[in-house]
Structure 1
């Protein structure tokens, strides 16, 4: 089942991909970033971009009927791996307790040249209560 969240922009071309999908109790989020019609939310500030990115991850996770504590896996893509401290600060404002498994990957570029961080997530609804 495709899932949407009112405060998260839909993909630019309908039919291209889904921001979020649910299959049984499993949920999957496409790479979220801080992109907006006037450029990245937060401008060039990677911390502010990461805060917006994680806000979108939270909104979509909740639209899937889950909580951020149900996220089991994160994939973080950075255009500059040195930004990991700022992104980690924003991430620490979202996750606590049993943290998700995570991979951090340095990439040459993201979909928009001004974007510095993108995050994919997946989990299982109710996972936090069964740990």
Structure 2
């Protein structure tokens, strides 16, 4: 099975030798945990609450999947890390803007903290890009 890094021209990655935004292995696409960074990169975040950050994260994931030849409908599994589980409804509110029909399988985990204090949400995902 081939394993290749997905080049996403409009979503910046972390520095060299840290991680890849996405790796395609056969028909599977594995998307690293995404936080609400701007598409062009940098250390600032887009959004000051869970809803705004989740919208930015799903926009990043959408761009990554499209670069690999798929759509959000190809997502089959997500793991969502949330600093304050009491705000999960804000994550679900943003999620409904990106998905219709059957949502991907999903796990929600409350964590003590993420990479920086202002990061409230991180989402990793897996997509199936093969035929039906």
Tell me the TM-score normalized by structure 1: 0.90
Q: Secondary structure at the match of 2:94?
A: helix
**Alpha-carbon deviation of 1:49?**
0.7
Separation (CA, whole Å) in 2 of partners of 1:86 and 1:10: 26
Between the aligned partners of 1:80 and 1:35, the Cα distance in structure 2 is 19
Cα RMSD (Å): 1.3
Calculate the TM-score normalised by the size of structure 2. 0.89
Q: How much does 1:126 deviate?
A: 4.0
In the alignment, structure 2 segments of 5+ residues that lack a partner are: none
SS of the residue 2:29 aligns to: strand
Report deviation, 1:41: 0.5
Query: Which one of 14, 18, 26 corresponds to residue 20 of structure 2?
Result: 18
Partner of 1:40: 45
What stretches of structure 1 of length at least 5 have no aligned partner? none
The answer to whether the Cα contact below 8 Å between 2:37 and 2:56 also exists between their aligned partners in 1 is: no
The list of structure 1 runs, each at least 4 consecutive aligned residues, that deviate by more than 3 angstroms after superposition, is: none
